[in-house]
Amino acid sequence: MSLKTRKIISIFVLTVLVFSPFLRFNQAQAAGIIPLAELGETEKILYGSVSDKPILTRVDEVEETVYNAQQPGSIVERTEKLIDDFFISSESSPSLLFLYNTIEWSIRGELAGGNLIQRLNGLEEMVSGEVNQGPIKERIQQLYNLTIKGQEMPLQKVESRNNQLIRVQLLDKINSNTARRGEKVAYQVIEDIKVKNTLLIPKGTRGELEITEIEEAGKMGKDGDIKIGFPQLETIDGSDLAVAIQKEAQQENESQKFAIGASVLGTAILGLPGVVAGYFVEGKDEEIPAGSEMYIQVTESKELYGVVVK
């Protein structure tokens, strides 16, 4: 190998060694810089599910729904604008989700089920007798102008109360013979949750519990066993709030005889984050019927925007 060739190889190797850390950093940074989780959450709220299409197509479709036009900028800038408009509130400017939730609660007295498009269609038909056309942002503003504009419904930032009880109702049944680990089961809040005079979680708010462990009933008297956990619950301003069944909720469940099923003989498993309850029936499969009620509780103190109500 000639001296000239060895010099060229040495320069190439040195260049790779010097710049490869920067290349690796940039690749890692790029992989996490587009807020895909938040984009997926926006899609789930709007349509009820997260798209598996290419990122650019997803952003185009959400912008078409919200603004009826593609917004300027990079994918990152466009996605961040969607997130800001949908979720970020101030005392003078509620987010789109916060504004819609406030309108719907003020008219219905509770939040409806379904994705945001379905809910908006139903509310428009209820108010004016017809479903309007156009971008979501414009339709929500029009509904606000038509219904509650001019009424004093100020926004206020308050701190959630740790251990505050929330009464909920299952919307689907759970059976230890058919349920699967990781399965999500819908529930709804059945009473407004306030801190002082500020509404944080409206009646009708939907959440999902998750089946964390499941065992079918077996021979020799083996019990059917269901363990459930509660992912976070969404508040009126679109923020997530941690909830679970811990000591206070379990005591209230026992005092109210909310056993989640008339034949349930089990008790809650307490003290483990995310694991809230285990239920069993001796020697047979356990079913928790739809419509069953129970108490869960707030498990964090967090500043949130709410609506001041009388």
Q: Domain of 259: which CATH number?
A: 2.40.128
Q: Which pLDDT score is estimated for 253?
A: 83
Can you give the pLDDT at residue 20? 41
> Is the same domain home to 184 and 304?
yes
Residue type, 33: I
**One domain, residues 162 and 226:** yes
Other C-beta atoms closer than 10 Å to the C-beta of 56 total: 10
- 125 and 193 co-located in one domain: no
Strand partners, 195: 198
pLDDT at 299: 94
Helix runs in 34-135, H state only: 36-47, 55-66, 75-87, 96-108, 116-128
- Distance between CA atoms of residues 157 and 151, nearest Å: 19
What pLDDT is stored for residue 255 in this prediction? 83
CA–CA separation, 174 vs 187, rounded Å? 12
Rounded to 10 degrees, the C-alpha dihedral 54/60/66/68 comes to -150
Q: Over its length of 310 residues, how does the chain's per-residue pLDDT go in tens digits?
A: 554 454 444 444 444 334 444 333 343 333 458 899 999 999 999 999 999 999 999 999 999 999 999 999 999 999 999 999 999 998 888 999 999 999 999 999 999 999 999 999 999 999 999 999 899 999 999 999 999 988 767 899 999 999 999 999 999 988 777 888 888 999 999 999 999 899 999 999 999 998 887 776 665 555 666 778 888 899 999 999 999 888 888 888 888 777 553 333 333 333 333 434 444 344 455 677 899 898 999 999 999 999 999 7
| Structural domain total, the chain | 2
Please work out, in degrees rounded to the nearest 5, the angle formed at the alpha carbon of residue 269 by the alpha carbons of 263 and 273: 140
Distance from the Cα of residue 251 to its chain's centroid = 27
Half-sphere exposure of 105 (CA within 13 A, CB side): 26
The Cα–Cα gap between 181 and 215 comes to 9
Q: What is the pLDDT of residue 261?
A: 34
Three-class SS of residue 12? helix
User: Residue 256 is which amino acid?
Assistant: Q
Looking from the CA of 131 toward its CB, the CA atoms found within 13 Å total: 8
Does residue 27 lie in a domain region? Answer: no
> In this structure, is residue 8 part of a structural domain?
no
- Is residue 20 domain-resident? no
Place of tokens 């598996």: 52
Closest CA to 187 of 219, 156, 231, 227: 231
Asked if 88 and 231 sit in the same domain, the reply is no
What's the pLDDT score for residue 50? Answer: 96
The answer as to whether 69 is a domain residue is yes
Measured CA to CA, the distance from residue 45 to residue 51 in angstroms comes to 12
Residue 89, pLDDT score: 92
Domain boundary among 133, 152, 171: 152
Decide if 9 is inside a domain.
no
Q: Which three-class secondary structure state does DSSP give residue 226?
A: strand
Half-sphere exposure for 212 (CA within 13 Å, toward CB): 15
Domain that holds residue 145: 34-152
For Cα atoms 145, 147, 150, give the angle at the middle one, nearest 5 degrees: 65
- Residue found by looking up tokens 């992989």 in the block: 31
Residue 230 located in a structural domain:
yes
Among the three residues 131, 152, 173, which one is the final residue of a domain in this structure?
152
Q: CA torsion 98→104→106→110, rounded to 10°?
A: -100
**Residue 216 domain flag:** yes
Residue where a domain stops, chosen among 152, 171, 201: 152
| pLDDT at position 286 | 65
Q: Are residues 175 and 279 in the same domain?
A: yes
165 and 273 housed in the same domain: yes
Domain match, 162 and 125 both = no
Mark whether 100 and 165 lie in a shared domain: no
Same domain, 163 and 233: yes
Query: Are residue 148 and residue 207 in the same domain, yes or no?
Result: no
110 and 230 belong to one structural domain: no
In a domain, 28, yes or no: no
CA 181 to chain centre: 20
pLDDT at 267: 36
Contact present, 279 and 226 (Cβ < 8 Å): yes
CB 237, CB 91: distance < 8 Å:
no
